[in-house]
Amino acid sequence: MITNPTRQRALRGHKPTRPTPRAANTAEHQAVLAWRLTPRDRWITRMLWEHRVLTAHQITALAFPSFRSGRLRLRELYTWGVVDRFQPFVTVGTAPMHYVLAPAGAAVLAAADGLDAKEMGYRHDRVFGVAHSLRLAHTVGVNEWFTALVDRARHPHPGEQVALAAWWSETRCARHFGDLVKPDGYGRWRDGDRHIEWFLEYDFGTEVLAKLAGKLTGYAALAQATGITTPVLVWLPTSRREATARRLLTRAWRELDDRRSVPVATTTAELLDPTAAHPSPADEIWLPLDTPTGKARRRTLSQLPDAWPHVPPPATTVDDAGPGPDSPHPTAPPPSPMPPAAAPRGQGHPGRR
């Protein structure tokens, strides 16, 4: 009808149907996925299981050369039931699509580890629970923090050899260290032959800063129990909040029995250069807590070990640091933060991106 003309998009072919959770786990569907999924696709499923939720922009920065290629591949993975998605409500603008692990993706992971989805601890309703979690913004913020480091490593400066060697989620950290302290994440950065590891405290501007300072006691207890000195990096939203946090942290740090066992450095998101191509926490923005007055020089992530010469470099490689029996993924270590290398052009199955 002239009042209701047929849209151009209606003339296209039918969209492929998305399998139901039950159909996604059939042998026939899994056989199709065995041909369709690339190593990068499987890596994405492991990252979603480890870190609960990643946005479309984060997955693109982690693994794809452009946002368009990432969006197209994620659409295919969604159609195949490998990933699921939701879009949170925001009062201004439009939120990016948020992705979680779907039943077919969980079945692929479980099969690769010799388990089934139930043994892995996967439940579709629980996975989607993050969409309604009051900590969704915090979880996405922490994941964005580590994603920026991966993006920085994927675009190194000339002659630079940097990489994010480890990225543990808040859940994994809680299962390992939760009886003493619950960091928002654990990471390890490699710059040539230099390594630095840390626990992250990501302040979203809502936590009581006195509570944040009180966590130093738990980190001191962890260092005493393990005999390992691991720096604590505190990320704050504004310079004003950083100044207040440093006063409270310094007071709590000076009350520790062994201050040297808890090196602390702070920074704020305001110090990142918005004009830089790939701004990240690896930039020259960190200020150690024990910096003498008048010598407040910010350092890069790679330079922080110079501020703590008493801290030995990490004694084990990431592969040696096994997940332990209480890991959220009991038979597999944390996934590598860096995506697998892409196959040379012309190799692999036709149509794969």
Cβ burial of 306 (10 Å; 0-12, 13-18, 19+) is exposed
Bridge partners, 195 (sequence order): 190
CB atoms under 10 Å from CB of 318, counted, come to 19
Model pTM above 0.75? yes
Who's near 107: CB < 8 A, 6+ residues apart? 24, 25, 30, 116, 117
- The ranges of the chain with pLDDT < 70 are 1-16, 292-295, 315-332, 342-353
Name the nearest CA neighbour of 138 among 264, 245, 51.
51
The DSSP secondary structure of 39-62, one letter per residue, reads HHHHHHHHHHHHHS-EEHHHHHHH
Per-residue model confidence (pLDDT) at position 348: 46
Q: What is the pLDDT of residues 157-215, one digit of tens each?
A: 888 999 999 999 999 999 999 999 999 999 999 999 999 999 999 998 888 999 999 99
Helix axes 56-63, 39-51, angle to 10 degrees: 130
Cα angle 86, 337, 341 (rounded to 5 degrees) comes to 100
pLDDT score for 5: 66
Site of tokens 């369709």: 36
pLDDT at residue number 179: 92
Quick: pLDDT tens for 305-345: 999 999 998 865 544 344 333 334 444 689 999 999 865 44
H/E segment holding residue 17: none
Q: Residue 193 and residue 162: Cα distance in Å, rounded?
A: 9
* Residue corresponding to tokens 């964005």: 144
Q: For residue 323, what pLDDT is reported?
A: 37
Beta strands in the chain (DSSP E): 54-55, 83-86, 98-101, 162-168, 185-191, 194-202, 232-236, 264-268, 287-288
pLDDT of amino acid 102: 96
Position 324 scores a pLDDT of: 38
Residues 6+ apart with CB under 8 A from 351: none
